[in-house]
Structure 1
């Protein structure tokens, strides 16, 4: 078995001391020089160990102040299941209601945004075709836990009451119900999860450290005739959300 690098071994030492409550949540750690002397390692090893623990959500860094034990937030359970897609509202609100949490969101919609090559391929449209793009920040009890950017072909909803996802009589109702309003039956949803690290903008919006572990989900809704009617990029921070997939077994 490959031996762990020195900074990872020292990171586990720090993690153990934190778990033993030598330093409590919100408390600042000693200086890197002091930790290096105590552990018999270099300050560079201490720095790399702290950076690793920051990406794991164990520590948090404050510019000009030092490194602190992160104050833990309760993880939100997000259950991906057929039921959440059939509830007549956006899946996030279904998840929060099931947990007894208050789910809210902040959003911004831009109409007639040209599709990038990647988005065009996912939606089966030509590059540069117009889309309605909506960016969401989802909150549980007022705290951010998830980001989502949605793209819908402008040609599908243009001139209808549901062209803007968060405006009109079906604001916040979710893709499935909104499409049903204009006679489109959503029959399938595809999700592709992948592991990643938060960039600076994502970290700022979610209140986590840059580089923290996240799950990126590429989601696409398809109508019963196989047409892609919406695609979205979802960012779920691992320290704040637990993702569960639950589906019935056909006998």
Structure 2
């Protein structure tokens, strides 16, 4: 006897056909999970799992405290990555902006310590960045800087002081530290629950995590960051200069 798919997958398949058949308009709210559960004669948890399948496919979107909606198509914008180390932090697109919140005296985890070439537990400054476009969060970043470099200076906290809003390159230059190189390692990932909520995407949506580390002219890491970029909204492009150095 052939094995049947779980109920949530069968319902997801049926909902997919209803969505693609035009039963709901773009942006329209679907019936409540309780109402759907009654019509399909299953529990609300089964409906939730079925809807999560379609959310991961980009057909639906969930809005906290509001319900589930037919997802309007979101244009996929180009995000150009270049060799210019002064680009971070920066707006992800023209007309964008960013907000940040910094915490000092944070012990470095083993992973962060390895990336910064310091001992685990050494103190770092941790900054959370939210990049916005049309007042909507479209990209996130976690940044860590060794406190040994900036402690007791006016640039210790990127979110405060006279250099608030300036790039890592500018802030380090004020201390006589010349940032000359960036190393990036992009990898596909799934967002955490908090990241998905902030970005307004589904828990199963793909994101690209760009692990970036800035180095000074001696090769010392001065900052490392994880950029979280929703794959459904951004097409990452790299522009590399081919000019021979003088």
Aligned-partner Cα distance in 2 for 1:16–1:130: 54
What residue is the counterpart of 2:54 in the other structure?
A: 53
Distance 1:62 1:157, change over 3 A: closer
Structure 1 residues 165 and 65: CA distance shift in structure 2, 3 A = closer
Return 11-20 or 143-152, whichever deviates more.
11-20
Q: Would you say the 8 A contact 2:52–2:202 is kept in 1?
A: no
8 Å CA contact 1:199, 1:211 repeated in 2: no
Displacement, 1:23?
2.8
Structure 2 equivalent of residue 188 of structure 1: 181
In structure 1, how many angstroms separate the alpha carbons of the residues matched to 2:63 and 2:86? 43
SS of aligned partner of 1:212:
coil
What is the Cα-based RMSD across aligned positions, in Å? 3.1
2:47 and 2:242 mapped to 1: Cα distance?
A: 49
Matched, 1:104 2:100: no
- Give, in angstroms, the shift of residue 162 of structure 1: 1.4
Per-residue deviation, 1:161: 1.8
For each residue in 1:189-225, what CA deviation from the matched residue of structure 2 results, as whole angstroms up to 9, or x when unmatched? Answer: 1111111112211112112222221111111111111
Listed as ranges, the gaps of 5+ residues in structure 1 are: 37-42
| 1:9-88 equivalence runs, <5 A | 18=19, 21-29=22-30, 31=36, 50-61=51-62, 67-83=68-84, 85-86=85-86
Gaps of 5+ in 2: none
Number of aligned residues: 233
Question: Do 2:89 and 2:168's aligned partners in 1 also have CA atoms closer than 8 Å?
Answer: no
| Contact 1:32/1:47 (8 A) holds in 2 | no
Deviates more, 1:49-58 or 1:121-130: 49-58
Deviation of the 1:237 alpha carbon: 1.3
Map of 2:90 onto structure 1: 92
Aligned to 2:199: 206
Deviation of 1:232 (Å): 0.8
Residues 46, 177 of structure 1: CA spacing in aligned structure 2 closer, same or farther, 3 A cutoff?
same
Secondary structure of the equivalent of 1:79? strand
Q: TM-score scaled by structure 1?
A: 0.78
> What is the deviation of 1:92?
2.5
Aligned CA distance change for structure 1 residues 185 and 193 (closer, same or farther; 3 Å): same
